[in-house]
Every structure is written in C-alpha cells, then in structure tokens.
Amino acid sequence: MKKEAVILIGHGSRIPGAAEDMKRVASGMRERMGGGRIVEFCHMSMTGPFFPEVFDRCVAGGASKVVVIPYFLHMGAHILEDIPELLLAKAREYPGVEIIFGRNLGYDDCLVDLVIRRMNESWSLPDIRNTGRRKPA
C-alpha cells in the first residue's frame, strides 16, 4: 500500500511567526486525518521550511505519493509557474514518487461565511488612528 503525504505550500514572510495559521491548519489536518498520511507545510521564500527539504523528508518517511496544496487564494505566478517548476524538479529527482499538483484554496462558499464573520468581529475594533499600527485582532 502506498504511503501518502500532503504538503501545504505558502508564500512565506520575513515576519517571524507569520505562518502560524498555516502551521495550525497542518496540525489540524494531522489530527482529523489520523496517522495514515504525512502532513507537512512549507514556504516558497523568506523563511523555512522550504519545499525541497520538506518533500525530501516526506519521501524519507516512506511517501510514494505526494499531494501539494498551494496555500493561496488567488491564481498568480507561484501557482502558474513557480510551484509547477518545483514539482517537476522533484519528479525528475524521484521518478518512483507520484507527485500531484493539488488545487489552491481559491473560492469556496465557506469563505463568504468566514469573511462575514471577520467583518462582524471587526465592527467593534478601534479606528486605526487610535491604535497606531496594530496587529490584527
């Protein structure tokens, strides 16, 4: 039986801790899916972990099938060019590993509910002029 891995790949940031939410999503996926699949996350740039090392770790952990999910809402250069190039490079390096370029987050009806919830949570926040530059609530 093939061991499967899922890798969430996001942009990355120079701000420490910026990827905590993506890390929490990966952790939640691990909990909900049980131990049958490897679940990892990585970044395109700025701070690690980076895709090549995470992919290698999945294969070293026994994965023979890897689904890469772009952690992006919108189509752009990373989805259309950069990520496919990374995946093709690993496909050449690991011809025996099935590599699937999964769908990006994109549009989903649940996002409408999420944005409405965030809007409702935001009405009581102070005017930006009263807080200076503030971190999101």
Annotated catalytic sites, by residue? 11
- What's the Cα-to-Cα distance from 39 to each of 44, 50, 59, 60, 68, rounded to whole Å? 17, 14, 12, 13, 10
Interatomic CA distance for residues 68 and 46, integer angstroms: 19
Interatomic CA distance for residues 43 and 22, integer angstroms: 10
Look up residue 133 and give its two tokens.
């530059």
